[in-house]
Amino acid sequence: MSVLERLGSLDRRWIFLLIAVAVTIPLLLERPAPTPPSPIVQNLYDAIDALPPGSKLLMSLDFGPSTVPENDPMARGVTRHALSKDLKLYLMTIWATGPPLIASLMEEVVDAEFPDKVYGVDYLNLGYKVGNQGAIQALTSDFKGQYTADVGRGQMHPSRPIDQIPMMDDVRAIRDFDFIVGIGSGFPGLKEWVQFAGDPEDVPVGGGVTAVEAPLLYPYYPQQLAGLMGGLLGAAEYEAALTADFPRFEGPGQQAQIRMFPQTVAHLVIVAFVVLGNISYFATKRRTGR
């Protein structure tokens, strides 16, 4: 058996090991990969950037711990962008796994990088609302009827009735928001925000999804979606756009860009194995005449 033919019957555990090495070594180097924003991500960035200070941005974190590597950099990027532009940031989720992610976002991004922002004035945690697309539909007609109180933030900001929060004074329904950002990884997620909030209420919608779901959402762009971050690459492109305008986020705000380096190396290894596999296949086919 020639070398090429032996490649075709290579134990897949060697491939697993090579992929692990291809990911680990570049990750240890921690160098951000250049990821110029694609038009679909740049459009999302520009749409949020164009909002005047004081605009209301509703961000729904509809993902769980299993997709944090892809979705969390998106949520952090949009949070940094929104608060840098002095937008009013409303955080919510329609996934049961969302609340801890909102809490860590507030702790690790808002508290750490925007200590001047005040809870209840600049940003608000509305928490989890059960009901999937039904919850979104209910919010379109009676937002305060669904969210009767916020979640609060510890003892400094205990949970209050929604009517006592200044940020909620002129919010009655979804259409009172200036932009909706959905960060999601499945059902319910960004698709439901487009179908049940964006299209019927004519509110601009954008967001980010995992790479698995991104192809399902591209048909909505650009008429029904202002822009879309697809997977880790989309998150990295958004970070690139953000750090170009706000250099202070270089470093902590480049997690996705740092991870694109091992991503690229792993892809190259996969492509190499695909090519070798095909060469081995045709070599074997030629030898056996079949």
Partner 1 sequence: MNAESVATWVGALLTLMIFSFLYRDNAFYKFAEHLFVGVSAAYWMVQGFWQQIIPNLMAKLFPRQFESVVEAARGAAPEYIYAIPLLLGLILLCRLIPSIAWISRWSMAFIIGYTAGTNLPRYLVSDFMIQVEKTLSTPLWNPQATHWLDSVMFFVSGLVIVGGVVCGLIYFFFSKEHTGAFGRASRAGIWVLMVAFGASFGYTVMARISLLIGRISFLRDWIESVFT
Specify which residues 88 forms β-bridges with: 56
Closer Cβ to partner 1, 79 or 210, answer by number: 210
Q: Binder to partner 1 among 133, 140, 175, 279 (CB under 8 A)? A: 133
Question: Is 137 near partner 1 (CB under 8 A)?
Answer: yes
- Contact region with partner 1 (CB under 8 A), list: 24-32, 41-49, 101-109, 110-118: 24-32
Number of residues that bind partner 1 (CB under 8 A): 49
- How would you classify the pairing of strands 179-184 and 88-93? unpaired
Question: Is 232 near partner 1 (CB under 8 A)?
Answer: yes
In terms of Cβ atoms closer than 10 Å to its own Cβ (0-12, 13-18, 19+), residue 20 is exposed
Q: Which bin fits 221, alpha (ψ -120 to 50), beta or left (φ > 0)?
A: beta
What gap in Å lies between CA 268 and CA 71, rounded to an integer? 23
Instruction: Give CA torsion, residues 24, 25, 29, 32, to 10 deg.
Output: -70
What gap in Å lies between CA 86 and CA 109, rounded to an integer? 15
- Contact region with partner 1 (CB under 8 A), list: 18-26, 37-45, 80-88, 282-290: 18-26
What gap in Å lies between CA 153 and CA 127, rounded to an integer? 11
Q: Binder to partner 1 among 43, 67, 257, 280 (CB under 8 A)? A: 67
The nearest distance, CB 99 to partner 1, in angstroms, is 9
Closer Cβ to partner 1, 181 or 213, answer by number: 213
Residues 81-120 that bind partner 1 (CB under 8 A): 96-97
Which residue ranges make up the site for partner 1 (CB under 8 A)? 13, 16, 19-20, 23-24, 27-28, 66-70, 96-97, 128, 130-131, 133-134, 137, 148-149, 159, 161, 194-196, 199-200, 210-212, 214-215, 219-220, 223-224, 230-233, 259, 262-263, 266-267, 270
